[in-house]
Homo-oligomer: A and B are copies of this chain.
């Protein structure tokens, strides 16, 4: 049922995005660059806080329904000036992406699978009637933006430049309809490792009083609409001593996501000894995480299929609780661009805590640690994996 309706929607989306392709396409070769007078000095690595200080330059491109994409501009980072009636302030016409750029030992800057983010950005845009972009042009523009601030891309494993493409509807009128004006912009922030002193496993509270996403909704898209409603369940969980909340869905209480990340569990069948890496299937309620996709691909490549089953399937908090009781729950971790993986050590559910094993003396399970290593090796240029790592500056 779900898959059918989601397929139907997709075909509608394609026709809608195709229609929007007649005006001027996004064209990186037209970019105008005006640089800051005095470039900033890089901050020491240990002073970097996620997403709170920004590099010197930003990219902006205006779009109108009539003319399409205007000339891209790279200019000093600064405030946006917008009419208070703009669609973005009232009706949630906004989407974003999150990627990271890495400094390699030979002073190049690479990005990790940016084509995946561009694909998702276009799906998000089409779903809320914002314009789509030419993926390779926006990748080139991000490269040119990063080039201006190349000295601010931090060096060292765990450090990177977080890149935030954003698109907002800027039509200045209060009627609710598809915006006829939009602004695409990209800002960047030098960031350090999510866990400064190695992994720190988190405690989750399972949330059944609020629902993150639903069939026929927009939970698989990276829209602003999906985030503000998460703040209260997060705050409520934090008050009770949990760092994040675990999202459940439906009467069966399927496990879907953790906070704003995808989530994976590892079970071990007591009878056969076989392990299973499980995550929820992409049924329209799950964000199509690039890290999620990368973990699944690497697991298929690297884990021995005699010992491992890799599943995208529905599974419930009840299954997790039951298998924990039987000693069959082995590991659990969130996955996303910011932290790559985030180990889980406890899950509060119905007044008790389900314990998730960690390695002795460590804040992570063995597969979680391995997965983090696999991905970092590709991101920081130690391993090559097809064209996952792309030189952009």
User: Which A residues are within 8 Å of any B CB, using their own CB?
Assistant: 5, 8-9, 12-13, 16, 50-52, 54, 58, 77, 79-85, 87-94, 96, 126-129, 162, 164, 166, 168-169, 172-178, 185, 187, 189, 208-211, 214-218, 223-232, 234-236, 259-260
- Report how far A336 CA is from B58 CA in the complex, Å: 41
Least distance between A15 CB and chain B CB atoms (Å) = 9
B residues less than 8 Å from A58 (CB atoms): 84
The answer to whether A215 and B211 have CB atoms under 8 Å apart is yes
**Docked-complex contact B175 and A51, CB < 8 angstroms:** yes
Q: Does the CB pair A185–B84 fall under 8 Å?
A: yes
Q: Is A173 touching B51 in the complex (CB atoms < 8 A)?
A: yes
Within the complex, what minimum Cβ distance (angstroms) separates A210 from chain B?
5
**Which 4 residue pairs of A and B lie closest in terms of their CB atoms, listed nearest first?**
A51-B174, A211-B216, A92-B224, A91-B227
- Contact partner of A80 among B84, B168, B178, CB < 8 A? B84
CB-CB under 8 A from A50, the residues of chain B are: 174-175
A to B CB contacts below 8 Å, 18 in the list: A12-B209, A13-B232, A51-B174, A52-B175, A80-B82, A80-B84, A89-B96, A92-B92, A92-B94, A92-B225, A92-B229, A129-B231, A176-B231, A211-B217, A214-B217, A217-B217, A218-B229, A225-B226
- Kindly provide the distance from the CB of A285 to the nearest chain B CB, expressed in whole angstroms: 10
Q: Are A173 and B52 in contact (CB under 8 A)?
A: yes
Label chain A's interface by main secondary structure. Answer: mixed
How many angstroms between the C-alpha atoms of A177 and B229 in the bound complex? 10
Contacts of A178 in B (CB 8 A): 231-232, 234-235
Q: Give Cα distance in the complex from A215 to B213, angstroms.
A: 10
A232 adjacent to B91 (CB under 8 Å)? no
Is B12 a contact partner of A85 (Cβ separation < 8 A)? no
Do the beta carbons of A90 and B127 come within 8 Å of each other?
A: no
Give the docked Cα–Cα distance between A338 and B154 (Å).
Answer: 52
**Within 8 Å CB of A234, what residues of B?**
176-178
Q: Are B79 and A83 in contact (CB under 8 A)?
A: yes
Looking at the complex, which one of B84, B189, B208, B216 makes contact with A174 (CB distance below 8 Å)?
B189
Q: Within 8 Å CB of A260, what residues of B? A: 176
Shortest Cβ gap from A170 to chain B (Å) = 11
Complex Cα–Cα for A127 and B230 (A): 9
- Cα distance, A225 to B126, chains bound together (Å): 16
> Inside 8 A of A235's CB, which chain B residues have their CB?
16, 129, 177-178
- Cβ–Cβ contact B224 & A90, under 8 A: yes
Q: Is the CB of A174 within 8 A of B225?
A: no
* Chain B residues in 8 Å Cβ range of A8: 209
- Which of B77, B211, B229 contacts A225, CB < 8 Å? B229
Least CB distance from A245 to B in Å reads: 12
A218 neighbours in B (Cβ, 8 Å): 229
Asked whether A228 lies within 8 Å of B51 as measured between CB atoms, the reply is no
Provide the residues of chain B in CB contact with A174, threshold 8 Å: 50-52, 162, 164, 189
Complex alpha-carbon distance, A234 and B175, angstroms? 13
Q: Assess whether B210 is in contact with A216, with CB atoms less than 8 Å apart.
A: yes
A101 CB to nearest B CB, Å: 15
B12 touches A236 (CB 8 A): yes
CA of A235 to CA of B177, assembled, Å: 8
Does B79 contact A228, Cβ atoms closer than 8 Å?
no
* 18 more A-B residue pairs beyond the given contacts A5-B208, A91-B228, A128-B228, with a C-beta to C-beta distance below 8 A: A8-B209, A9-B210, A50-B174, A54-B85, A58-B84, A79-B84, A81-B81, A91-B231, A93-B228, A127-B229, A129-B231, A174-B189, A176-B227, A176-B231, A209-B216, A211-B214, A211-B215, A225-B229
User: Which residue from chain B places its CB closest to the CB of A191 in the assembled complex?
Assistant: B174
Report A167 CB to chain B, min CB distance, Å: 9
